Chain A
Amino acid sequence: MTVLLDLLAAIGRGALGLVSAAGSVAVFGAVALSHVVRPPFYPRLLARQMMEIGYFSLPVVALTAIFSGMVLALQSYTGFARFSAEGAIATVVVLSITRELGPVLAGLMVAGRIGAAIAAELGTMRVTDQIDALTTLSTNPIKYLVVPRLVAATIVLPLLVIVADILGVLGGFIVGVAKLEFNPATYMQRTWEFLEVQDVVSGLVKAAVFGFIIALMGCYQGYHSRGGAQGVGAATTNAVVSASILILTFNYVITELFFAR
């Protein structure tokens, strides 16, 4: 009996902890958003973050997208050849990439690269009193540290996903033409034929939301880290794990909103 009660108590504690964490993340995000529209603004910091989050993530996102497009073409060929539907490969590749794989894979890669970096940087600033120092120098740390990262990530993730979409389709095209011996023109025509604006737009909306989530979780975990190097390490792990889970969750929610019939 006591074992059962202990188990229930543990589940209860976990659930309460989760709800309380969700609440404080939401409050943190709302406070940060309220500062987005209020001066002072820091355009130099925003530009630096856009460079850091966007430009320097390009190689990672590009390689992920191109290989995903390639393997997608290869795998769907194996499946579709069994009922002689090879002609649908180009369509499958472009729809999968623009709707799902582009934003989700780019999101997860950037979560690993940028979410971790943000949490580690802010966490170190927290445990070395740099965040307190900002306050004593009449600078709001939310405005100075959090807002530029949130805005930059929300803006550049869709741009990264446009690149991922193009390279993902290119990856499929390379395999389709070089290995599966499709006619290049036919492949491209098939790619465009069934693609709708909404497919691309939904992917870009997802990307913006994922960018916001990545920066929010990185900033939240880093900003609230405690207890030296170990605390910063834990903040970094939590930032990546929570951002990844939230990306997959919101991926479903946004898909449902866009395409539910």
Chain B
Amino acid sequence: MSEAPPKIRIRGLSKAFGAKIVLDSLDLDVPAGRGFVVIGGSGSGKSVLIKCILGLIEPDAGTIEIDGRNVLAMHRSERETVNTRIGMLFQQGALFDSLPVWENVAFGLLARKMMRRAEAKPRAIEILAQVGLGSDVADLYPSELSGGMQKRVALARAIAARPDLIFFDEPTTGLDPIMGAIIDALIVEQVERLGATAFSITHDMASAQRIGNEIAMIHKGKIIWQGPAERIYDSGNPYVDQFVRGKSEGPITMEVRG
């Protein structure tokens, strides 16, 4: 894997909120064009990691390179240009509830002036079809949809601008196991179709195995293991072993007070 340059290269990434250290000089290489999953318990720092990469949280120290360029050193406009090639599926969908479904899907296309409103609606309906939704939902509002449908719309919005890097924050959280599997299958299908790199964080092991070719585990703000997805139950790492098997006994002790 070392022959191709990584899509994302993170070095020495640190972030603390007050006295609480969330990311502790974290290093990570995410290979291009594959499904990469970061697993970890609640409070392990995985959400903060994804927000740092997206530029939503400013880290205290370290570098984050996307395609070899340090995004933390960029001007805002440059950063926005990089963001145009990035899609993000938020945990709760984060759909704009004041806009109908089609405008949610086409939001990035309209914001980036890639097309006019008249062209954007049919395009949004096409993208909705790719995630298994009919044109009848286009004019509904997000609050009128079920959780699974909202996730599909959020996925449609994330892939609408044909990004080459897509982030998924707990894509199956809040869904029943069947709907979770359906969403995972859609994610894999769409990521392959776009030839994109998928970076996901999750604590759902079934989901991690479905969407990940490579898995890394974060614990107390550091990456403690990284390897191919098929090795996850055979990692030889006691922390990973305890986590993937969901055992209460082991080296990981849950902090009751964060």
Interface residues, chain A, CB within 8 Å of chain B?
121, 125, 128-130, 132-133, 135-139
Q: How far is the CB of B145 from chain A (nearest CB, A)?
A: 15
The contact sample of 26 A-B pairs, CB cut-off 8 A, is A121-B98, A125-B96, A129-B90, A129-B91, A129-B92, A130-B94, A130-B95, A132-B51, A132-B56, A132-B94, A133-B95, A133-B96, A135-B54, A135-B55, A135-B83, A136-B54, A136-B86, A136-B87, A136-B88, A137-B83, A137-B107, A137-B111, A138-B80, A138-B84, A138-B108, A138-B111
| Given pairs A132-B56, A138-B84, A138-B108, 7 additional interface contacts (CB within 8 A) | A121-B98, A129-B90, A130-B94, A133-B90, A133-B94, A133-B96, A137-B83
Report the tally of A-B residue pairs with Cβ distances under 8 A: 45
Q: How far is the CB of A134 from chain B (nearest CB, A)?
A: 8
In residues 55-74 of chain B, which contact A (Cβ within 8 Å)?
55-56
Q: How far is the CB of A35 from chain B (nearest CB, A)?
A: 12
Q: Quick one: which of A125, A128, A133 has the most chain B CB within 10 A?
A: A133
Q: How far is the CB of B121 from chain A (nearest CB, A)?
A: 15
Rounded to whole angstroms, the CA-CA distance of A132 and B51 in the bound complex is 9
B112 at interface by CB-CB < 8 Å: yes
Rounded to whole angstroms, the CA-CA distance of A130 and B99 in the bound complex is 12
Q: Quick one: which of B54, B84, B90 has the most chain A CB within 10 A?
A: B90
Chain B residue nearest to A48 (CB atoms) is B98
Rounded to whole angstroms, the CA-CA distance of A15 and B90 in the bound complex is 39
Q: Which 6 A-B pairs have the closest CB atoms?
A: A129-B94, A133-B94, A136-B88, A137-B108, A139-B111, A129-B90
Contacts of A133 in B (CB 8 A): 88, 90, 94-96
**B94-113 vs A, Cβ < 8 Å mask (1 yes, 0 no):** 11111000000001100110
Rounded to whole angstroms, the CA-CA distance of A189 and B85 in the bound complex is 68
Chain B interface size, as a band, is 20 to 34
Contacts of A137 in B (CB 8 A): 83, 107-108, 111, 157
- Determine if A138 and B112 form an interchain contact, defined as CB atoms under 8 angstroms apart: yes
Rounded to whole angstroms, the CA-CA distance of A130 and B91 in the bound complex is 11
Rounded to whole angstroms, the CA-CA distance of A80 and B88 in the bound complex is 69
- Determine if B56 and A130 form an interchain contact, defined as CB atoms under 8 angstroms apart: no
Contacts of B83 in A (CB 8 A): 135-138
Chain A residue nearest to B54 (CB atoms) is A136
Rounded to whole angstroms, the CA-CA distance of A200 and B54 in the bound complex is 50
Rounded to whole angstroms, the CA-CA distance of A129 and B55 in the bound complex is 14
Rounded to whole angstroms, the CA-CA distance of A137 and B107 in the bound complex is 7
Contacts of A125 in B (CB 8 A): 96
Contacts of A128 in B (CB 8 A): 92, 94
Contacts of B94 in A (CB 8 A): 128-130, 132-133
Chain B residue nearest to A144 (CB atoms) is B111
With A128-B94, A130-B94 in contact, is A135–B108 under 8 Å at CB? no
Contacts of A132 in B (CB 8 A): 51, 54, 56, 90, 94
Q: How far is the CB of B93 from chain A (nearest CB, A)?
A: 8
Chain A residue nearest to B163 (CB atoms) is A136
Rounded to whole angstroms, the CA-CA distance of A137 and B86 in the bound complex is 8
Chain B residue nearest to A135 (CB atoms) is B56
Q: How far is the CB of B90 from chain A (nearest CB, A)?
A: 5
Rounded to whole angstroms, the CA-CA distance of A12 and B107 in the bound complex is 47
Chain B residue nearest to A127 (CB atoms) is B92
Contacts of A130 in B (CB 8 A): 94-97
Q: Quick one: which of A129, A132, A136, A139 has the most chain B CB within 10 A?
A: A136
Q: How far is the CB of A38 from chain B (nearest CB, A)?
A: 11
Chain B residue nearest to A129 (CB atoms) is B94
Contacts of B90 in A (CB 8 A): 129, 132-133
Rounded to whole angstroms, the CA-CA distance of A135 and B108 in the bound complex is 10
Q: Quick one: which of B51, B56, B86, B91 has the most chain A CB within 10 A?
A: B56
